[in-house]
Structure 1
Amino acid sequence: MVDHAPGTSGSINSYENEEILTWKHPMHIFQRILALIFMCLIGFGSYFCYDNPGALQDNFLKDLNLTTSQFVYLYTWYSWPNVILCFVGGFLIDRVFGLRLGTIIYALLVVIGQVVFASGAYFNRLWIMLLGRLIFGIGGESLAVAQNSYAVLWFKGKELNMVFGFQLSFARVGSTVNFLVMEPLYQYIKTVFNFPDNKSMAFVLFAASLTCVISLMSSLILAWQDKRAERLLHRKLPSAEEVVKITDVKNFNKSFWLVTFIIVCYYTSIFPFVALGKVFFEKKYHFSSGEANIINGIIYSSGAFLAPLFGIIIDKTGRNLFWVFISIFGTLVAHLLLTLTYVNPYIAMLTMGTSYSMLASALWPLIAMVVPERQMGTAYGIAQSVENLGLGTVALLTGIIVDADGYFLVELFFCLLLSVAILLASILWLSDSLGKKELNMSIKERKQLQLIKNSDPEEQNLLNDALNED
């Protein structure tokens, strides 16, 4: 159960003491599961369509006469604008639109962006496709900020790691389904309808946009559900002193920035790798196109099953920083296997997928621990803005490196990024150990800390002494 939802008039745990808690009540397990389902579906379309180019990489290169560097533009034009706009999107959620309206607007942008992207393929115009990816990226990344904010609003407390795990799971189901169905769908449309190559690509991308429509409908339903919860729980509006300002960013502590840069270094070793992975597996391991897609999608498919499990484990054990460190190390081992050996790549990809699932459940909730609830949208927006700066830069570099020197140097580059991530995680762990020790607490210790915060000053002193003795 949530300890305190942002803006509520008191502890939500007080509702547990009611004699009658019907399924219609916002805090009933039925309503919370329903909200979680819609939160997950909000990101499904965005993640499904994000890697449409990756699932059809060789088709894009051949049908649209693109170089690898031009192909990578389909990812950099997604990422670069969000260096600024993702932060703006989070701030607009906190200060202007509110969470519900902001989520609907960003989900609509995802639909529009995917349709424009497909139209660019239909007319065989790269600039239209890039415009579509730009619009899609603005909506998709800001939608992820909204999704994280909804999770904190409804589930902050002992369930938050599990919820982030389930969100990742649904997102990666979208990515996995993308890698499994896009190539067969492309071949079916091309064979049955005998369209020119670029027209076949266009109709496949138009079909993919239907998943974005599902996400938009989910955002509308969740907005209605959250509006109802706000009314029944009597959530308070923020006071004048609590209104979020752009200048609040300077008050974010060093732990937040360390978490953010770990996110950057880690995810730049994952997403650009997946974007180029299909051809990598075809060339190094001589897989067919379909086999390469399957193994390239293992990162996402394993995440779909393992992320909720790791979320539950972390909710039961705590020790987030420990899990973050182990997951980064596991990913580094996986990349080293792909770089330096010819060991069956399924071993490396399963290791990477397991580590990736573990990290998502352990790392992202750390932001909710170090940033005030009223600034959650801004904080997650900043984190994803910096992440997109890294993704855009690394995607551009990897395309150039592949065209010039091949995949070996790209893999070494990914290993370097993960080494930096391990160093930053070590610094964060040391800093936390010398400070409040909140980020790597066990669940028992966190419960004791919550008791201290909720007690009067005299009780706080006694509990602090007991906690220090432990």
Structure 2
Amino acid sequence: MERSVDSTVEPVGLTISQSEPTGCGAWALFNPHNRMHRFFVLAFICFLSFGSYFCYDMPAALADQIQKDMHVSASQYTLLYSLYSWPNTVLCFFGGFLIDRVFGLRAGTLIFSGFCIVGHFIVSTGALFGPDYYWMMEAGRFVFGLGGESLAVAQNAYSVSWFKGAELNMVFGLQLSFSRLGSTLNMNIMTPIYNSFRSSFKSFEDYQVLGAALYVGFLLCIFSFMCGVAMWILDARAARVLKRKKEETGENIRITDVRYFPVSFWVLSIICVMYYSAVFPFIAVGKIFFMGKFAFSDSAASLLNSIVYFISAGASPICGILVDRTGMNVMYLLISTIGTLISHLLLAYTWITPWLAMIIMGVCYSLCACALWPMAALIIPSNQLGTAYGMMQSIQNLGLALATLICGAIVEASGYLMLEVFFICCLFIALIACVVLYLVDDYYGVGLNLTAKARARIEAEERDRAEIMASHSEASSQSESVHGEINYDVLTQPRDATALRHRFYSFVAPDAEEPVEMYKARTISLSRRSVVS
């Protein structure tokens, strides 16, 4: 487990050089030695995925318009989400590995952000050309998926690189908050933008209006790409000024190393995929669900459907601080799973206002994200975190790809009640996995459910142990240097009887300083041997 970062020192893993920046570079906001600079960098980290999150849920925001303007069924519509997830069943894992071992974090961020830009441009252009080019929208979502989740892996890696220990949960929460701000903004402005374009460009066909509206997301993807460029510059400067050392273990990290990931990691991955399979696919079809069961208007259904993201934008940092201060990640994961299960039961079997269920889901979703994702950093070595996060998101996207296909089929065959039953089953599996994770953690002593104070105490003990080992290592090196200065010409000279006797005693009792003590040690040794024999 990593050390917490003190407010007066540099991040863990950074070694401060003796030279301080000068000029405007010495200002607190731009000085890598200063804590304020790290939070300045955090703003760019948070906006790295803003554009991709905005574009990811564009089909949900314009679900009714897409199905009508492009003349597609519910299963064809949900295919837009499946095609995003399918490449990430493999690429997320390889994306994390490429970030770790091939591209590097900085170049990898820009490469994957570029895939998002190109992919959404193809989606928008396909809609602009009309229903006959719906295949182009599907292809664009596939290309968009090549970058979207791997970009999130890079974002997580940046967060772990700049923030560790007690700050990490809060940073993950804030990062999620900004990302979901993009999703919330998308849910609430895309329908007004579509209607505005429709009234402004009356000569346009409906599908052309749809295509023009989708280009808004293309511009925001470019904005996120520019944040990636800024992160390249800031991270490279910090590495130069702080003499940042790349963490190496001397091991050759291979993709097959995932075989040695502990059981707790795989249980955590099961919770991840089952929990999110009950949230994201629901949001994808939620707008039409609210319009059908509760007779909400288009704008009211969009607002209600976005409430999960809206709440997470504000609640995620608070939940992150809560988990930071108290620990007990597994307990919070269990609470969030139960809360989300209750919200789906309310939506499925009651006519209570859906606002209550969606508010519960929003709070639990925020708490789950802040408790779940940082646990990977407690389980996996830091030099394999990119691969670990990639594997988690690969498993998650495999589940989401299947879940969205199942959702489309269930809606067409049996309606939304059976769809809610499917979500409830997913959450029951996640709940069982939470209990298993608690038992595995208790058995192996990983410490995922420890309180923050207990973790701090263990960290202090590990630091003391590391310092003792370092001092012993230093003493050993000094001893070797002393032996290197021995005059071997003296050792090869003939010795008298006293010198030979002292030489013999030095083997019997090497710590004794006087011949009398050597004699006593030898006598005791012989007496013990006789007793044993």
TM-score between both structures, scaled by the size of structure 2: 0.82
Q: Which residue of 1 aligns with 2:264?
A: 255
Amino acid at match of 2:118: I
Matched-pair identity in %? 44
| Aligned pair partner of 2:189 in 164, 181, 184 | 181
Q: 1:32-43 counterparts in 2 under 5 A?
A: 32-43=38-49
Give aligned pairs, total. Answer: 456
Mapped pair 1:151 → 2:159: yes
Residue 255 of structure 1 deviates from its aligned partner by: 0.8
Counterpart CA distance in 1 for 2:246 and 2:339 is 44
Q: Which residue of 1 aligns with 2:433?
A: 424
Residue 73 of structure 1 deviates from its aligned partner by: 0.8
Q: Which residue of 2 aligns with 1:164?
A: 172
Q: 1:108-127 counterparts in 2 under 5 A?
A: 108-124=114-130, 125-127=133-135
Q: Deviations over 1:22-48 (max 9, x none)?
A: 623324222111111111100100100
| Aligned pair partner of 1:31 in 14, 37, 40 | 37
Residue 322 of structure 1 deviates from its aligned partner by: 0.9
Structure number with greater CO (CA < 8 Å, separation at least 6) is 1
Asked if the contact 1:268–1:414 (Cα under 8 Å) also holds between the matched residues in 2, the reply is: yes
Q: Which residue of 2 aligns with 1:467?
A: none
Residue 242 of structure 1 deviates from its aligned partner by: 3.5
Q: Deviations over 1:269-309 (max 9, x none)?
A: 00000000000000000000100000000000000010000
CA gap of 1:28–1:402, structure 2 versus 1, over 3 A, is: same
Asked if the contact 2:316–2:370 (Cα under 8 Å) also holds between the matched residues in 1, the reply is: yes
Q: Deviations over 1:168-215 (max 9, x none)?
A: 100111000001100000001011111101100000011221110110
Counterpart CA distance in 1 for 2:59 and 2:37 is 37
Q: Which residue of 1 aligns with 2:507?
A: none
SS at match of 1:159: helix
| Aligned pair partner of 1:363 in 356, 363, 372 | 372
Counterpart CA distance in 1 for 2:35 and 2:301 is 41
| Aligned pair partner of 2:329 in 320, 323, 341 | 320
Residue 455 of structure 1 deviates from its aligned partner by: 1.4
| Aligned pair partner of 1:202 in 208, 211, 224 | 211
Counterpart CA distance in 2 for 1:458 and 1:76 is 51
Q: Deviations over 1:69-93 (max 9, x none)?
A: 0001100000011101111111100
SS at match of 2:166: coil
Asked if the contact 1:38–1:221 (Cα under 8 Å) also holds between the matched residues in 2, the reply is: yes
Asked if the contact 1:256–1:367 (Cα under 8 Å) also holds between the matched residues in 2, the reply is: yes
Counterpart CA distance in 1 for 2:343 and 2:413 is 24
Asked if the contact 1:452–1:459 (Cα under 8 Å) also holds between the matched residues in 2, the reply is: no
Amino acid at match of 1:181: I
| Aligned pair partner of 1:246 in 255, 272, 277 | 255
Counterpart CA distance in 2 for 1:14 and 1:389 is 40
Residue 374 of structure 1 deviates from its aligned partner by: 0.5
Q: Deviations over 1:382-441 (max 9, x none)?
A: 000000000000000000000111000010100000010010010001111122151011
Asked if the contact 2:4–2:167 (Cα under 8 Å) also holds between the matched residues in 1, the reply is: no
SS at match of 2:250: helix
Counterpart CA distance in 2 for 1:13 and 1:60 is 50
SS at match of 1:316: helix
Asked if the contact 1:401–1:410 (Cα under 8 Å) also holds between the matched residues in 2, the reply is: yes
Q: Which residue of 2 aligns with 1:283?
A: 292
| Aligned pair partner of 2:58 in 52, 55, 75 | 52
Amino acid at match of 1:172: R
Asked if the contact 2:14–2:244 (Cα under 8 Å) also holds between the matched residues in 1, the reply is: no
SS at match of 1:403: helix
Q: 1:216-235 counterparts in 2 under 5 A?
A: 216-235=225-244
Q: Which residue of 1 aligns with 2:475?
A: none
Q: 1:92-103 counterparts in 2 under 5 A?
A: 92-103=98-109
Asked if the contact 2:15–2:243 (Cα under 8 Å) also holds between the matched residues in 1, the reply is: no
Residue 131 of structure 1 deviates from its aligned partner by: 1.0
Higher mean C-alpha displacement, 435-444 vs 341-350: 435-444
Asked if the contact 1:95–1:243 (Cα under 8 Å) also holds between the matched residues in 2, the reply is: no
TM-score between both structures, scaled by the size of structure 1: 0.93
Mapped pair 1:85 → 2:94: no
Asked if the contact 1:4–1:12 (Cα under 8 Å) also holds between the matched residues in 2, the reply is: no
CA gap of 1:346–1:27, structure 2 versus 1, over 3 A, is: farther
Counterpart CA distance in 2 for 1:277 and 1:384 is 23
In structure 2, list runs of 5 or more residues that go unmatched. Answer: 470-533
Q: Which residue of 2 aligns with 1:236?
A: 245
Asked if the contact 1:91–1:381 (Cα under 8 Å) also holds between the matched residues in 2, the reply is: yes
**What RMSD, in angstroms, separates the aligned Cα atoms of the two structures?**
2.2
Counterpart CA distance in 1 for 2:35 and 2:445 is 33
Residue 10 of structure 1 deviates from its aligned partner by: 9.4
Counterpart CA distance in 1 for 2:217 and 2:263 is 41
Asked if the contact 1:242–1:374 (Cα under 8 Å) also holds between the matched residues in 2, the reply is: no
In structure 1, list runs of 5 or more residues that go unmatched. Answer: 461-470
SS at match of 2:264: helix
Counterpart CA distance in 2 for 1:404 and 1:433 is 44
Amino acid at match of 1:400: A
Highest CA radius of gyration, 1 or 2? Answer: 2
Counterpart CA distance in 2 for 1:77 and 1:236 is 39
Amino acid at match of 2:188: L
Q: Which residue of 2 aligns with 1:72?
A: 78
CA gap of 1:113–1:419, structure 2 versus 1, over 3 A, is: same
| Aligned pair partner of 2:389 in 377, 380, 386 | 380
Q: Which residue of 1 aligns with 2:481?
A: none
Amino acid at match of 1:3: R
Residue 232 of structure 1 deviates from its aligned partner by: 2.0
